[in-house]
């Protein structure tokens, strides 16, 4: 596929780059990292009111901008490049996508305008197993007359400790795998919901733990059909996987750029180290990784657009998302690791930002499944296709 930005898409990308270069400086990132919340509320308000980013791919019928996933991925790439500390991924790539995929008209009309105005959201589906597939859903939901009751513990939830709105996956008692899964949307302040911050290695993207004890939610909270939400949840996870891949593209690119910038300044044996052939070869390897990762991420973005609009290529989303996640995660980790090496002994010191990119690369690699898991998914889909043929 030959891909190039339209004039509007290039403008959106350039605007994101200019804004983040101004507000997501090294000092700002480190200041936000040091807080439990993980971001600056005033800055998030600017993102919502000035740039309208949470509304980016929300349809105009609900007050959104009606843009596509390519525009979203272009923005996410710049967020990864500048390590932007915000609830954007959890709100837009998890919460909004869950409502777009699984919500009915009334639910979209209620919740999406609130998110556009500044409320944050997230998706909680992972249990305590440390896995990322649908098998990890172990929270329990039961019917209670015209309402439902939820119990369980959800871990590794992006911004789970601070989000205003929670989309939550739970299953019928005794069900396993893809059977019996339901999705619910509820305010985070619902009685019976307890939330805890989970400190992690990468503090540029916060995580939380949710504990629900006999939480009652009305019938209007159910997204889709009761016990039939597995396909909807997997669709949301696939869309979020593309978003993580885009973030990793930005990490890979900035790891290269910062390493090259350092090499052009560092003098050893009377010459800048960028002039040494061996280091040029390493930088060339990093550039190849970054460019190939961009191709994978933007192809997946095009497929995601088709998926959301019901286009003919939409069925390719699981494969495209897994290919992008596998390659972009490895590219980010490779480039960040090489960046540390090219910085020499100072590479992993707190003074230099490359160590922050290394941590972001590793956390992004594990988020929603590492490269090995996604290659297994691609292989399994190919085998299933061959059997069907």
Cβ distance 185 to 165 under 8 Å?
Answer: yes
3-state secondary structure of 372: helix
Q: What is the pLDDT of residue 17?
A: 97
In a domain, 291, yes or no: yes
- Nearest CA-CA partner of 140 in 211, 220, 232, 231: 211
105 with 67, same domain? Answer: yes
Tens of pLDDT, residues 134-180: 999 999 999 999 999 999 999 999 999 999 999 999 999 999 999 99
197 with 273, same domain? Answer: no
Tens of pLDDT, residues 248-304: 999 999 999 999 998 998 888 888 888 889 999 999 999 999 999 999 999 999 999
In a domain, 2, yes or no: no
- Nearest CA-CA partner of 296 in 334, 339, 325, 265: 325
- Nearest CA-CA partner of 238 in 126, 368, 129, 123: 368
The CATH number given to whatever domain includes residue 248 is: 1.20.140.10
Tens of pLDDT, residues 77-96: 999 999 999 999 999 999 99
β-pair partners for 320: none
The whole-number average pLDDT for the span 337-360 is 89
**pLDDT of residue 26 exceeding 60:** yes
Q: What is the pLDDT of residue 387?
A: 42
**pLDDT of residue 380 exceeding 70:** yes
Q: What is the 3-state secondary structure of 49-95?
A: HHHCHHHCCCCHHHCCCCCCHHHHHHHHHHHHHCCCCCCHHHHHHHH
Cβ distance 67 to 57 under 8 Å?
Answer: yes
The CATH number given to whatever domain includes residue 109 is: 1.10.540.10
Tens of pLDDT, residues 225-252: 999 999 999 999 999 999 999 999 999 9
Q: What is the pLDDT of residue 185?
A: 98
- Our count of domains for the chain comes to 3
CA angle 335–338–344, rounded 5-degree value: 145
Q: What is the pLDDT of residue 99?
A: 98
Confidence of residue 114 (pLDDT cuts 50, 70, 90): very high
171 with 292, same domain? Answer: no
**pLDDT of residue 388 exceeding 50:** no
Enter the tokens of residue 138. Answer: 């172990």
């Amino acid at each position: 596929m030959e891909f190039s930005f339209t004039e509007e898409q290039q403008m959106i990308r350039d605007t994101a780059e200019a804004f983040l270069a101004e507000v997501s400086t090294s000092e700002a990132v480190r200041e936000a990292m040091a807080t439990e919340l993980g971001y600056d509320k005033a800055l998030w308000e600017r993102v919502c009111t000035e740039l309208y980013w949470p509304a980016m791919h929300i349809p105009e019928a609900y007050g959104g901008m009606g843009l596509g996933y390519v525009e979203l991925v272009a923005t996410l790439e710049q967020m990864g490049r500048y390590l932007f500390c915000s609830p954007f991924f959890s709100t837009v790539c998890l919460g909004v996508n869950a409502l777009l995929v699984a919500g009915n008209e009334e639910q979209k009309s209620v919740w999406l305008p609130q998110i556009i105005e500044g409320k944050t959201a997230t998706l909680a589906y992972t249990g305590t197993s440390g896995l990322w597939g649908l098998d990890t859903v172990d929270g329990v939901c039961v019917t209670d007359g015209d309402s439902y009751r939820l119990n369980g513990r959800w871990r590794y939830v992006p911004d789970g400790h601070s989000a205003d709105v929670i989309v939550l996956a739970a299953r019928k008692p005794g069900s396993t795998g893809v059977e019996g899964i339901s999705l619910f949307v509820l305010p985070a302040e619902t009685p019976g919901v307890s939330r805890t911050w989970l400190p992690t290695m990468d503090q540029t993207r916060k995580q939380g733990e949710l504990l629900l004890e006999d939480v009652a939610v009305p019938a209007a909270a159910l997204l889709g059909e009761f016990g039939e939400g597995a396909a909807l949840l997997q669709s949301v996870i696939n869309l979020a996987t593309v978003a993580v891949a885009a973030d990793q593209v930005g990490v890979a690119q900035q790891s290269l750029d910062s390493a090259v910038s350092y090499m052009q300044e560092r003098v050893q044996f009377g010459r800048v180290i960028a002039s040494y052939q061996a280091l040029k070869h390493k930088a060339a390897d990093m550039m190849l990784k970054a460019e190939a990762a961009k191709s994978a991420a933007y192809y997946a973005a095009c497929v995601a657009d088709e998926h959301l609009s019901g286009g003919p290529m939409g069925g390719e989303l699981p494969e495209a998302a897994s290919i992008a996640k596998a390659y972009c995660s490895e590219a980010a980790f490779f480039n960040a690791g090489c960046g540390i090496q090219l910085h020499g002994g100072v590479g992993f010191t707190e003074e230099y930002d490359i160590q922050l990119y290394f941590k972001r690369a590793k956390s992004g690699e594990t988020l929603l499944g590492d490269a090995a898991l996604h290659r297994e998914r691609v292989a399994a889909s190919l085998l299933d296709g061959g059997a069907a043929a």
